[in-house]
Amino acid sequence: MDTKTINIGIIGLGTIGTGVVKILQENQKIIQNRLGAKIKISRIADLDLTTDRGISLNPSILTTQAIEIVNDSDISIVVELIGGEEPAATYILKAIKQGKNIVTANKSLLSTRGPEIYQASYDHKVDIGFEGSVCGGIPVIRAIKDGLSANRISLIYGILNGTANYILTKMSDEGISFNKALIEAKKLGYAEADPALDVNGKDTTHKLSILLSLIYRKQFRPDDIYTEGITHIEPVDIEFARELGYRIKLLAIFKEEDGEIEARVHPTLIPAESLLAHVNGVYNAAFIAGDAVGSTMFYGQGAGMMPAGSAVVSDIISISRNILNGSNGQNIPLFTKNYSTIKLKNKNQTKCKYYLRFSAQDRPGVLSQISGILGKNNISISSVIQRGRQVKGAVPIFMLTHEAVEKDMDKALQEIDALLVTLDGTTVVRIEDQFNNLA
Amino acid sequence: MDTKTINIGIIGLGTIGTGVVKILQENQKIIQNRLGAKIKISRIADLDLTTDRGISLNPSILTTQAIEIVNDSDISIVVELIGGEEPAATYILKAIKQGKNIVTANKSLLSTRGPEIYQASYDHKVDIGFEGSVCGGIPVIRAIKDGLSANRISLIYGILNGTANYILTKMSDEGISFNKALIEAKKLGYAEADPALDVNGKDTTHKLSILLSLIYRKQFRPDDIYTEGITHIEPVDIEFARELGYRIKLLAIFKEEDGEIEARVHPTLIPAESLLAHVNGVYNAAFIAGDAVGSTMFYGQGAGMMPAGSAVVSDIISISRNILNGSNGQNIPLFTKNYSTIKLKNKNQTKCKYYLRFSAQDRPGVLSQISGILGKNNISISSVIQRGRQVKGAVPIFMLTHEAVEKDMDKALQEIDALLVTLDGTTVVRIEDQFNNLA
């Protein structure tokens, strides 16, 4: 019996693309056995065909013209790995129109133009796989689509950016500043030359937006999700959090409560004994709670050549299976009209506990002024520590609050930061400590 | 447009069966939206139709005759939840012959008669789903089949039995004996009236056997996998392990090295700072390493009405999708001839580090005799602690060894236990501390 062959084309031979080629070459036999067919890389496009990537390729399959892959009638799966919005969107949409199945790891594209791409894939009866877009090698997209498909998913806490997690871990382990930790991350190749999206939280927000789109089958635009990065976190915050039994992580947070969705991305104090607090370095994890399954957590490497390549190749294999059994493009549309009217909660209305660090003059009455303003704004303090030592002429005052409404907190902080006795702005870190069932 | 309907029949309305009904009822709308079709429970068989299970069912769908479900031509998916080998195997095989797809959570059946069942499902072109057979609600089967399909999987450390993990956690947290912790587990419904398979390790071995069968697509019989339970672990072992920076967990261990497989189930000392060591209570977790993805971990509840129900319903949904798109029964056979000739390593040849607790008379020269025998058998000691206090006239001596060969250890222990100065038998717990990349 002849072995069937699935021809694929890869657009973009950067880090992930190289990983995909390596995996398909090294695990060729094992994958062929699992699939019952061969996966053949029939064409690869990249603008740079000269850099040595440590892989051996037949030069005849290489091209600088991505459009050749889009137009190649032998290719059934186009793997887009160039990232960014354009020209990726154009290639993907053109390939879909030609009946090609798509695999991509392009989180910024999917979070912003997902609806258009999903609709096109439905209209043209092709599959689209994007496991690599969230949590790299960890099969979180599949968990939501398949493994937990029986559940109403009501909560996610995600550590979805390895660079930010590496920096926070390094700051925590060594007591160093954000800037020093960032330099270290760059040295080790964990941070790009421009790590802006990693440390300002936006990459995490793109990923959260994709997870939400899977859960609710409608788009939640990244711009509508409250996002805060980690650049303002100082070693003293990490140290104080630790003393109180917390770790600081950049979390993607999703909760459904009372028919509304809370979705936000910000540094967060979480209990030191929680599993998530033990997710360190470049590792990612998604803590997902469903009404039937209870608490689950998925852990692994969220980025890097081979982990991200693992996710992309798993999509290539799944879509190949569908092509072989004739079921590709047969799924119901990812986004359906009127499926869900649920909306994001107004940020002003969200409630949580807060960690606050004030920088104040070392004078009598300061604490009374600050706590007076908090009280007036319905914010109740659960603990306060004022340390004697001075930092640049100021005394830090640390506070934890009980649950408070965001709007009240905003107002209180405006008043406090306007006081003559406070210096700099107040550092605010939200707290999540309701890890139900999390042993 | 008429909504399509998939008719299912459930055999066994025990804990999991009740969970499946609850989920299908409570999340009916959400599941219908995800699937684009209705799932209808058209028949349920159980010998006991009188017990109130807290669910409301149309009495006309209930029967005491499971065979009616097997023979019902309207039913496309038979959900077998009675457990045990017979009559479950007979019902499943008969249903397959009638072209019915199967969902089961029956780990003892699959681990022993898997090949026959998988072959039948292939011959008759039906799907078989068994996500619920390992790790309950955690989608570990799918992780191996789909999410990590690009990888050569080379290592698994699994906490696969919630009852055993609850008991060890309780012993660890409260310093109580195995028997006391077991009584507690029974009180809370975490242990069956007969918890033998949970505490003697065999349930864990059944699950490991299923995971191995997925990885290698050949059967590894539970009887061929070295299995040891947790009944001999004493509080003093847990306490001493903790002092040395370890926790004791009942682990399913799989490693591929040098073309051979190590597969064993036993209590194990693992580093206290590892993620797995933080998996407590009735929770399960599978730590899985692949050549591309690196280290991953999947965490959640491994048993119970709703978590196990979540897994079973996810299979019902997946198979329903396949039925709707015409791809059910189109997969390549799970077991293929000549796919893998890999074999289990002879247990005598396995190597690991050991924790040993000797019970000896408090006399001069005892330590020298014990360490002499170990040395003679090529076992090198990495640390030793002898405590002054006597327990029943004996002094406990604790040792950790460097890596040693199992055969040598067996021989040394025979000699040591035959000494006049040693009392009781030596308590042996293996150590696994090579958690690569596990932050």
pLDDT in tens, A387-435: 766 666 788 999 999 999 999 999 999 999 999 888 889 999 999 987 6
Close Cβ partners of A171 (under 8 Å, ≥ 6 residues apart):
A177, A178, A181, A233, A235, A238
B-contacting residues of A 130-169, CB under 8 Å? 131, 137-139, 142-143, 146-152, 169
Asked whether the beta carbons of residue A279 and residue B279 sit closer than 8 angstroms, the reply is: no
Query: How does residue A341 score in pLDDT terms, banded at 50, 70 and 90?
Result: confident
**Comparing C-alpha atoms, which of B156, B158, B201, B345 is closest to residue B262?**
B345
Domain with B46, as residue range(s), is 4-137+305-325
Position B144 in a domain:
no
Question: pLDDT at residue B5 above 90?
Answer: yes
Tokens of B350: 């396995």
* Residue A81 lies inside a defined structural domain of this protein: yes
- Kindly state whether residue B426 falls inside one of the protein's structural domains: yes
By annotation, the residues of B acting in catalysis are 207
For residue A245, give how far its alpha carbon lies from the nearest alpha carbon of chain B (Å): 16
B384 and B290 within one domain: no
Q: Which residues of A touch B314 (CB under 8 A)?
A: 146-150
B78 and B35, same structural domain? yes
As beta bridge partners, residue A12 has none
Do residue B55 and residue B115 come from a single domain? yes
Quote the pLDDT of residue A437.
46
Predicted local confidence at residue B353, as pLDDT: 97
Is the N-terminal amide bond of B87 cis, ω within 30° of 0?
yes
The minimum CA-CA distance between A326 and chain B, rounded to whole Å, is 7
- Per-residue tokens: B395: 């002094």
Whether residues B271 and B407 fall in one domain: no
**CATH number, residue A369:** 3.30.70.260
CATH code of the domain in which B93 resides: 3.40.50.720
Residue A41: inside a domain, yes or no? yes
List the single residue in A139, A279, A301 with the smallest CB-CB distance to B143: A139
List pLDDT tens digits, range B145-173.
999 999 999 999 999 999 999 999 999 99
What's the CA gap between A64 and A46, in Å, rounded?
5
- B158 shares a domain with B264: yes
Neighbours of B230 (CB within 10 A): 26
User: Is residue B297 located within the same domain as residue B314?
Assistant: no
Interface mutation target, options A38, A157, A299, chain B, most CBs of B under 10 Å: A299
Tokens at A150, concatenated: 């029986």
Q: A221-235, B342-356, B385-399: lowest mean pLDDT where?
A: B385-399
pLDDT given for residue A424 in this prediction:
85
To the nearest whole Å, the CA of A29 is away from the closest chain B CA by 10
- CATH code at position B220: 3.30.360.10
Q: Is residue A265 included in any domain, yes or no?
A: yes
Q: Are residues B231 and B218 in the same domain?
A: yes
Instruction: State whether residue B23 sits within 8 Å of chain A by CB.
Output: yes
Is A146 a residue whose pLDDT tops 90?
Answer: yes
| Per-residue pLDDT band at B394 (split at 50, 70, 90) | confident
| Whether residue A295 sits in one domain with residue A196 | yes
Residue A38 touches chain B, beta carbons under 8 Å: no
CB contact set of B63 (below 8 Å; sequence gap of 6+): B43, B44, B45, B69
Distance of CA B417 to the CA centre of its chain: 32
Q: Residue A191 has what pLDDT? A: 81
Whole-angstrom Cα distance, residue B245 to residue A262? 40
Task: Clarify whether residues A159 and A288 are in a common domain.
Answer: yes
Does residue A87 have a cis bond before it (omega within 30 degrees)?
Answer: yes
Q: Do B298 and A296 touch (CB under 8 A)?
A: yes
A-B contacts (CB, under 8 Å) = 225
Within this chain, do residues B98 and B159 fall inside the same structural domain, yes or no? no
What predicted TM-score, i.e. pTM, was given to this entire model?
0.96
Disruptive mutation site among B6, B122, B142, B151 for chain A (greatest number of A CBs within 10 Å) = B151
Q: What pLDDT sits at residue B438?
A: 43
In angstroms, what separates the C-alpha of B364 from chain A's closest C-alpha?
44
Residue contact A294–B278, C-beta within 8 A: no
CA dist., res. A303 & res. A325, Å (int): 31
Final residue belonging to a domain, choices B292, B325, B358: B325
Contact B16, B81 (CB under 8 A): yes
More confident residue, B365 or B253: B253
Q: Is A28 among the domain residues?
A: yes
Residue A438 resides in a domain: no
Interface of B with A in 255-294 (CB under 8 A): 273, 275, 278-281, 283, 290-294
Contact between B46 and B112 under an 8 Å Cβ cutoff? The reply is no
Q: Torsion angle of alpha carbons A375, A379, A380, A381, nearest 10°? A: -100
Residue B306 and residue A327: Cβ atoms within 8 Å? no
Portion 334-353 of B in contact with A at CB < 8 A: 336, 339
Task: Determine contact: B193 vs chain A, CB below 8 A.
Answer: no
Q: Is B394 in a helix, a strand, or coil?
A: strand
* DSSP for residue B352: E
Residues of chain B numbered 216-255 and touching chain A (CB < 8 Å)? 217
How far apart CA B289 and CA B291 sit, in angstroms, is 7
For residue B384, is pLDDT > 80? yes
DSSP H helices in B389-432:
406-417
Query: Does any domain span residue B439?
Result: no
Determine contact, residues B24/B31, Cβ cutoff 8 Å: yes
Q: Which residues, numbered 404 to 423 in chain A, qualify as contacts with chain B under a Cβ-Cβ cut-off of 8 Å?
A: none
- A157 and A195 both lie in a single domain: yes
Are residues B378 and B309 both part of a single domain?
no
Number of domains in chain A: 3
| Confidence grade of residue A89 (pLDDT, cut at 50, 70, 90) | very high
